[in-house]
Chain A
């Protein structure tokens, strides 16, 4: 059974800092890994999708890496801004189009 763990559970940083969010998964037989953002009381917004054959994806100030063999992914956020404050969720797709989520990292960027 696939399990996804995100560390840290919560993170508070001053504006402008670069930061890394971590995601690990127990079963390396994944099709892809997706990072989402969830604002309080809102739905999920897809940030980055990494196919199992890829090592990283970049979008603006966001960079996500994937090491499938070790079961790890990181989301790097450069020059953080208060608007980046949200919960960041990591999810892996396994067989049968099933997405398994981590419990999220709650990020607060202080002005």
Chain B
């Protein structure tokens, strides 16, 4: 199936741990994103990569480090997890330059719970 897939779907971990979320898209898109959805369901962009190059880096703690080994993958590594990091993290992709004629495609999300 053509899609944006992210793993794991659920992640429960203790404060202070380091964890990674993986994302892969097979849509041939050039741009990939990480969005965070907080407890109030508000979605906000964190990072955006074009062909492995970082183009958007919002005001996110530097404990969050995205890594794009190739244009089909964008992983998110989080160091020293804090309670406030608990949220749902969505990966997305789009054609180069944004939605174009086809819009953005989102993954199903990773629900991170820090205890």
B-contacting residues of A (Cβ < 8 Å)?
31-32, 34, 36, 38, 41-46, 49, 51, 87, 89, 91, 93, 96-101, 103-104
Q: Which residues of B contact A98 (CB under 8 A)?
A: 45, 48, 56, 98
Q: How far is the CA of A98 from the CA of B94 in the complex (A)?
A: 11
A43 contacts B99, CB within 8 Å?
no
B108 contacts A42, CB within 8 Å?
yes
Q: B101: shortest Cβ distance to chain A, in Å?
A: 7
Residue of A nearest to B50 (CB): A97
A93 contacts B42, CB within 8 Å?
no
A97 contacts B106, CB within 8 Å?
no
Q: Which of B9-59 contact A (CB under 8 A)?
A: 31, 33, 35, 40-45, 48, 50, 55-56
Contact mask for chain B residues 85-98; partner A; CB cutoff 8 A; 1 contact, 0 none: 00000101010011
